[in-house]
Structure 1
Amino acid sequence: MNTHKYRRRLDREDLGRVLTESGVDCGGVREWSELTEASYNTAYRIKLTDGTGLVLKVAPDPEAPALTYEHGLMRTEAEFYRAALGKAPVPEVVHISGNEFLLMTELPGANWFGQRSAITEPAGLRTELGRHVAALHEITGPGFGYPQNRLLPGWRAAFTAMMADILADAERYEAPLPIAEIRGLVHANEHLLDAVRTPVLVHFDLWDGNILVHDGRISGLVDGERAMWADPVAEFVSLALFGDIEQDQAFFDGYGPFEFTGDIRRRLAMYRCYLFLIMIVEGMPRGYQGARHEQVMAHTRQLLDRQLDRLR
């Protein structure tokens, strides 16, 4: 089963209805095109005759197979942008329609990953990124967890529920993983989560593909659909997805001093396990396949095993 067949594409009439609902003059569209970078939602770049640029994200068919947490993601992304607006470079929400579509302003630039060979001073960008992430982590929320779910008063309860969901998904899709052992290791370490008292805004997917760069500066933090109110340490996972955030001095030059104690490293290991589980399991209902996918999955499984070792 491949999620691509569940992706919803718009024709010109569909686009007009969406723009009208959003309060945008559909007669003012100069051009529009699909953004090929999107892999789960469908995304369009829209140019209006007055020069305004917009981006429209359309959710997959509701019948598409998905992980438990992958409901209401449009609402989560909109909440992330609204919470971060004015504090970090994010799009402005123009209109959201339930979990159907999200219309936002277009930001200048292209994603860092696609420009990586042309970026001559990555350390400076990492420092700038650190400042933006620090600003996100000054934004506090009303409880812990995913915005699309019922927020909980404690981080331990929220995170263990999130982990329970992804492990249930792993069982449902028969992922070849040591599920019982993972449950046991999380349970043995979950008391460390009680040290987290304040829910802050965490993007949780800040790899280079979700960071826009324009004229040598960071111009946008996008694709906030995995955002949560959480432990700020959870942010460090995607910021160094296949690397070691502790060695990223340029980032901490912007973020500010941070001490990695033994307990914090174990919390970080739990968050890494969670994201690696998502990466491994999500490809099953979406029907991902091919040599490249298998290679990435093998590497991700090695990284997961390494984090499990740190929790033993």
Structure 2
Amino acid sequence: MRSRTKHRLTRLEIVKLAANQFGDNTTVGVIKELKGGMFNSAYLLELPGLKQEVVLKVSVHPDASLLAYEKNLMRTEVEVYQHIASTTSIPIPDIMGYDFTRRLIPSDYFFMSALKGQTMHSLRKKLNTALLDKIKVELGGYISQLHQIQGSYFGYFSEDDKLQFRTWKEAYWHMMQMILQDGKRLNVKLPYNRIETIIKQKEHLLEAIKVPSLVSFDLWPGNIFVIEDNDDYKIEAIIDFERSFWGDPYADFPPAFMLFKDVRNEKQFWHAYSRSFNKALEITREDYLRMQLYKLYIFLIMSIETYRYGKVYGKLQYIYSRSTVMKCLSELEVYD
């Protein structure tokens, strides 16, 4: 995907990073740039000496124009992988090493094991309803594990205690203020006053969330790898946790709109998700309205981040995202 944020490396730079990680005698064979991502750059490396392929993921260049919440996202991603690996059975790639010193290149980077399967997105024409339902049941169990990882504060990952919020309401308001300020700075046409008014009217709903849970906020078919298993498919790994934060676990469902339009209608997924909590979970009217606030947030991000894409793709995403923003506002206004 064409994006202004990608920091593309030369072969010489990639070889240098591989030698730093795996030893000076490391031989690098074929290097293939992976095209799927929209933010960082990634490369598939053939390492004959290790008898395996690895993926090198490189963060944006420090001079890139970013949204306020997008600082140091790769450090968040590695930390989330570490949380998942130490406390859950969620399948993820193995993190083989990382370097955040920016000594060799002016970006963060890490190496991880290469996956053998394909994304649900790439297989969307091949997966029938029965296979999709089976994968969603498996996914429900994994996401419930993710949401049972708890943090000590609300908000995006940060070492700055001023950004470690005591309540979810405070964190959500700060997150919204960041993206709205970005939109104004980039001259994106949105009804800013109306958005802030509606958030203030509905933010009391966020007070119900007392415990910070780990939220991916990027659950879409492109981040779920599946692998064929005797004419069937199972989840090989879930990837890309760079946009994670500590918040309401139900915030993960609105960004998953390409997996399911409305999680309330996904009975099999919901049963699998609820099962590990040892109680039947129900989505109340208040839960649904909170999810509309999260839907508003993700589609505001999608509306505003379009400045870095190509003209045609950016325009199409802006039209779709802004339309969804307006629908969210209308729906939130209906309820007192």
Letter in structure 2 aligned against 1:275: I
Contact 1:19–1:26 (CA under 8 A) maintained in structure 2: no
Contact 2:250 2:291 in 1 (8 A): yes
1:264 corresponds to 2:264? no
- Among all aligned residue pairs of Structure 1 and Structure 2, give the percentage whose two residues are the same amino acid: 31
Distance 1:26 1:192 in 2: 58
Mapped partners of 2:39, 2:77: distance in 1 = 14
Q: CA deviation at 1:24?
A: 4.7
Partner of 2:325: 304
Aligned equivalent of 1:57: 57
Give the number of the structure with larger relative contact order, counting CA–CA contacts within 8 Å between residues 6 or more apart.
1
Q: Which among 239, 243, 258 is matched to residue 222 of structure 1? A: 239
SS state of the match for residue 16, structure 1? helix
132-141 vs 28-37, which moves further: 28-37
Cα offset, 1:288, TM superposition? 3.3
Report the Cα distance in structure 2 between the residues aligned to 1:21 and 1:155, rounded to whole angstroms. 41
- Structure-2 separation of matches of 1:18 and 1:224: 23
The range that moved more, 155-164 or 11-20, is 11-20
Partner secondary structure for residue 209 of structure 1: helix
Matches of 2:23 and 2:31, distance apart in 1: 14
Give TM-score scaled by structure 1 length: 0.92
Residue 181 of structure 2 is matched in structure 1 by: 168
* Separation in structure 2 between the aligned mates of residue 139 and residue 15 of structure 1, nearest angstrom: 34
User: Which residue of 2 is the match for residue 100 of structure 1?
Assistant: 108
Computed over aligned residues only, the root mean square deviation of the Cα atoms, in angstroms, reads: 1.9
In the alignment, structure 1 segments of 5+ residues that lack a partner are none
1:238 aligns with 2:261: no
In the other structure, the counterpart of 1:252 is: 270
Superposition map of 1:125-136 within 5 A: 125-136=135-146
Q: Distance in 1 between matches of 2:20 and 2:76?
A: 20
Asked whether the equivalents of residues 223 and 239 of structure 2 are also in contact (C-alpha less than 8 Å), the reply is yes
The residue type paired with residue 212 of structure 2 is: P
Residue type of the partner of 2:268?
A
Report the CA distance between 1:228 and its aligned residue: 0.9
How many angstroms apart in 2 are the aligned matches of 1:156 and 1:307?
A: 19
Unaligned runs of 5+ in 2: 101-106, 275-279
Offset at 1:157? 1.1
Q: Secondary structure at 1:27's aligned position in 2? A: coil
The structural deviation recorded for 1:60 is 2.1
Counterpart CA distance in 2 for 1:252 and 1:239 is: 14
Asked if 1:283 is matched to 2:311, the reply is: no
> Contact between 1:82 and 1:92, CA under 8 Å: does it hold in 2?
no
- 2:293 matches 1:294: no
Instruction: Indicate yes or no: 2:14 matched with 1:15.
Output: yes
Instruction: Pick one of 126, 131, 140 that aligns with 1:118.
Output: 126
Q: Choose which of 130, 147, 151 in structure 1 pairs with 2:164.
A: 151
Letter in 2 for 1:228: F
Distance in structure 2 (CA, Å) of the matches to 1:63 and 1:51:
36
Residue in structure 2 matching 1:192, options 205, 209, 212: 205
* Residue 217 of structure 2 is aligned to residue 204 of structure 1: yes
In the TM superposition, what whole-angstrom CA distance separates every residue of 1:113-166 from its partner, at most 9, and x where no partner exists? 011111131111111111110110111112111114632221111111000000
Normalising by structure 2, we get a TM-score of: 0.86
Q: 1:210 Cα shift?
A: 0.8
Q: CA deviation at 1:79?
A: 1.2
**CA displacement, residues 80-133 of structure 1 (integer Å, 9 cap, x when unaligned):** 111111431112222222252122222331111011111131111111111110
Amino acid at match of 1:243: K
Q: CA deviation at 1:277?
A: 0.3
